[in-house]
Structure 1
Amino acid sequence: MARVMASLLRLNAHFGGRLLTTGVAIAGTFQPYFWLNDHLPPRFDFLTPLDTAIPFLPWTYALYSSFFALLLGAAWLLDGHEYLRMLGAVLLANAVCYLGFFLFTAHYPRPPLDSIPPGFWREQFRQMRASDNAGNTFPSIHVATTLLGALRLRHQRGGALWVLWAVLICLSTLTVKQHYVVDVLGGIGVAWGVHALLFRRPVPALAAPVEARS
């Protein structure tokens, strides 16, 4: 195991290695994701009046899909050790979300493609829906992954902008009608829980007791 970690650290010491690691990790997570989405029938309905009131804004698909770019930003800015820690957190969050997909299977009632004016955005949604079915909603893996990236990037230069970008991506999961409000809350909970578990601050040393006066 030590040799494997040493090899991973050497590989991820440069940006190209981090890109390769990211590609392998994403490819690995796609397999269980698509299997669950293709084989689990819906058993829950999380639709609320708030979900219905949120408008469908096809152009926000640009924000929704930009979370891949946020991961690339993390690969660029974080050093190899920190990036591997973040990627490990993302993989753990994925596993937690898969369990949620299995236990609380729901399918989002996505607007029909015909409701999108012909052109660029309709084609983007057609391609996305051709591979990503309406399931795998709770908790949102999109939100969990995005927030984990932002939580590590907030310490970097322009940290507030990374966080703002992550918030906009999370909101876009609602306006592209991929997720319920409860899915977003669940994704936030997964991200914060995994981050708290894997990125605990060291416990400060206790101050030495003051010696009693003689």
Structure 2
Amino acid sequence: MRDKKESKTGGTRFGIWYEKSVGKLIPKQTVVSLISCFVLNSAIYTGTQLLMKNAKHYDLSTKFDKSLPFVKEWIYIYLICFAFWAVNYIMISRTEREHWYKFATGDYLSRLICGVFFILLPTTNVRPEITGNGLSSILMRFVYTADPASNLFPSIHCLVSWMCFIGIRKQKHIPVWYKVFSAVFAVLVFASTQFTKQHYIIDVFAGAAIAELSYFIGTHTNFYKKIWRFFDKVNNVVFGRD
């Protein structure tokens, strides 16, 4: 007798509901791996902060960093980028599954590399005093309070923003204007990390370099196939077999 949780086509009730609703935006074949990108990012960033809380942290500032002014209005770009990340990662998850899993493999690898740096080279910086009671000042205080001055090298903010661009730059079905926008916005995010004094310049270059390296490995090795097979098994459990 067929499991009551499955339809005649083998899909679970949840799988059937998902395809008729959220699945129109994020394919069921990639949604679990997409969520895992966020989970891994959060686990590594927060986990290493807790792990290295009492460790010695290093200041990697340069004369260039010290010469840049603190411009709190850049906090808007710094925060808006979270929506940018969501849009582009969903967009990439909607591409061919082979491309998505190559991208996801690079994404996972990039966070693991970051985790190694966060443990072996804990970093910090000196933040400026925030004055005023305007919206930009309120948002800056919120960010400084919610996000301790640690795990700066490499910059995950810059890494993820650049991943948003490199994940779509060779996708022919995505308009050129949006590719240009993504590249420009990623650079604006780089700038925002500098003017809000959230990162030093070396953090920016390291984040972008790790993004490129990880994506290259993800697209030029066969390891993505193992990731793909793993999530296919997970998807079969969650959504049922097609």
TM-score calculated relative to the size of structure 1: 0.77
| 2:112 paired residue number | 95
Q: 1:149, CA displacement in angstroms?
A: 1.3
1:68 is displaced (CA, Å) by 1.8
The match for 2:70 is: 56
Residues 37 and 132, structure 1, Cα contact 8 Å, conserved in 2: no
| Equivalent residues of 1:92, 1:194 under 8 A apart | yes
Q: Is the 1:139–1:183 contact (alpha carbons within 8 Å) kept by the matching residues of 2?
A: yes
Mapped contact 1:143–1:184 kept (Cα < 8 A): yes
> Residue in 2 aligned with 1:210?
none
The RMSD of aligned alpha carbons is 2.6
Q: Do the aligned partners of 2:44 and 2:112 also contact (CA within 8 Å) in 1?
A: no
- Structure 1 stretches of 5 or more lacking a match? 1-6, 202-214
Identity of aligned residues (%): 20
Greater relative contact order (Cα < 8 A, sep 6+):
2
Q: Are the equivalent residues in 2 in contact too, given 1:74–1:83 (CA < 8 A)? A: no
Q: 1:194 to 1:162 in 2, by over 3 A?
A: same
One-letter code of the match for 2:50? Answer: D
1:1-214 counterparts in 2 under 5 A?
14-17=24-27, 22-40=34-52, 41-78=55-92, 79-80=94-95, 81=97, 82-112=99-129, 115-155=130-170, 156-157=174-175, 158=177, 159-200=179-220
**Residues 165 and 19 of structure 1: is their aligned pair in 2 closer, same or farther, counting only changes over 3 Å?**
farther
How far residue 124 of structure 1 moved from its aligned partner, in angstroms, is 1.2
Structure 2 unmatched runs, 5+: 1-14, 222-242
1:48 shift after superposition: 0.9
Contact 2:106-2:216 at 8 Å conserved across structures: no
Shift of 1:27: 3.5
Counterpart in the other structure of 2:228: none
Q: Say how many residue pairs are matched.
A: 191
Tell me, in whole angstroms, the C-alpha distance in 2 between the residues paired with 1:19 and 1:169. 26
**4+ residue segments displaced more than 6 Å:** 10-13
Residue 59 of structure 1 deviates from its aligned partner by: 1.1
Secondary structure of the structure 1 residue equivalent to 2:163: helix
